[in-house]
Chains A and B, each alone.
Chain A
Amino acid sequence: MKLLALYNRVNIITTVIVMLITGIIYYQAISWILTNQKDKDLKVEEREIFDYVKLNNHLPQTFESNDQQITFTEARPGSVKREFINTMYFKRWDKDNTYKKHRYRHTGEYESGRGLISSVLVGDKYYKILIVESKVETEDLIRLIFTITICVILFLLLTLLITNRLILNRLWQPFYNTMKELKLFNITDTKEISKLDTNIEEFKELNHAVLDMAAKARHDYKDLKTFTENASHELLTPIAVINSKLDTLIQTENFSDRQSKLLNDLYGAVSRLNRLNQSLLLLVKIENRLLHEKQRINLRELVEEMIIQFEEIFQDKGLKLTYNLEDKEIIASPYLAEILLSNLISNAIRHNYNGGEIMINLTGEQLIIQNTGGDQPLPDEIFTRFHKSSGSEGSGLGLTISRQICGNFGFSLDYDFKDGYHTFTVDFNKH
Chain B
Amino acid sequence: MKILIIEDEEGLRESIEEYFSEAGNICETADNYQNAMVKINLYDYDCIILDITLPGGNGIDILKSLKEKNHPDGILIISAKNSLDDRLEGLNLGADDYLVKPFHLSELKARVTAIIRRKTFNGSNQLIFNEITIDLLAKEVKIGKSVIKLTRKEYALLLYFIANRGKVVSKNAIAEHLWGDGIDMANNFDFIYSHIKNIRKKLMEAGCGDYIQAAYGMGYKFTEQ
Contact = CB atoms under 8 A, between A and B. Distances in A.
Interface of A: 233, 236-237, 239-248, 250-251, 255, 257, 259-261, 263-264, 267-268, 271-272, 274-275, 278, 281, 285, 290-291, 293, 308-310, 312-313, 315-316, 335, 338-339, 342-343, 346, 349-350, 392-395, 398
Nearest to B195: A312
A37 B168 CA distance: 123
Interface residues of B, number: 45
B219 A250 contact: yes
B15 A245 contact: yes
B217 A257 contact: yes
A247 B173 contact: yes
Contact of A267 (B172, B179, B191): B172
Given A240-B101, A264-B217, A291-B84, A250 B11 contact: no
Given A247-B106, A394-B184, A394-B186, A240 B9 contact: yes
B102 A313 contact: no
Interface of B: 9, 11-12, 15-16, 18-19, 80-84, 101-106, 152-153, 167-168, 170-173, 176, 179-187, 190-191, 194-195, 215-219
Given A260-B218, A310-B179, 4 more contacts: A243-B104, A244-B11, A293-B84, A394-B186
Q: Which of B15, B102, B153 has the most CB of A within 10 A?
A: B102
Contact of B82 (A260, A281, A392): A281
Contact of B184 (A261, A281, A398): A398
Given A248-B19, A251-B19, A261 B217 contact: yes
B166 to A, nearest CB: 9
Given A267-B170, A291-B84, A316-B194, A247 B15 contact: yes
Given A241-B11, A250-B168, A275 B106 contact: no
B102 to A, nearest CB: 3
Query: Top 6 closest A-B pairs, CB basis?
Result: A240-B102, A244-B15, A316-B191, A260-B216, A393-B186, A241-B11
Contacts of B106: 247
A192 to B, nearest CB: 28
Contact of A275 (B83, B105, B170, B181): B181
B194 A243 contact: no
B218 A263 contact: yes
Nearest to B194: A316
A247 B184 CA distance: 19
Given A244-B16, A267-B170, A393-B187, A236 B105 contact: no
B216 A245 contact: no
B80 A237 contact: yes
B217 A248 contact: no
Contacts, number: 130
Interface centre among A242, A246, A261, A272 (most CB of B within 10 A): A246
Contacts of A285: 83
A335 B84 contact: yes
Contact of B19 (A242, A247, A268, A272): A247
A295 B6 CA distance: 34
A346 B216 contact: no
Contacts of B187: 268, 271-272, 393
Contacts of A398: 184
Contacts of B215: 250
Nearest to B78: A240
A245 B13 CA distance: 10
Given A248-B18, A263-B218, A281-B82, A241 B184 contact: no
A247 B185 contact: no
A215 B9 CA distance: 39
Nearest to A392: B186
Contacts of A313: 179, 185, 191
A338 B181 CA distance: 11
Given A239-B102, A260-B217, A312-B191, A244 B12 contact: yes
B173 to A, nearest CB: 7
Contacts of A268: 172, 187
A243 B16 CA distance: 11
B101 A250 contact: no
The CB with the most chain B CB atoms within 10 A, among A241, A272, A281, A290, is that of: A241
Contacts of A395: 184
Contacts of B195: 312
Contacts of A242: 102
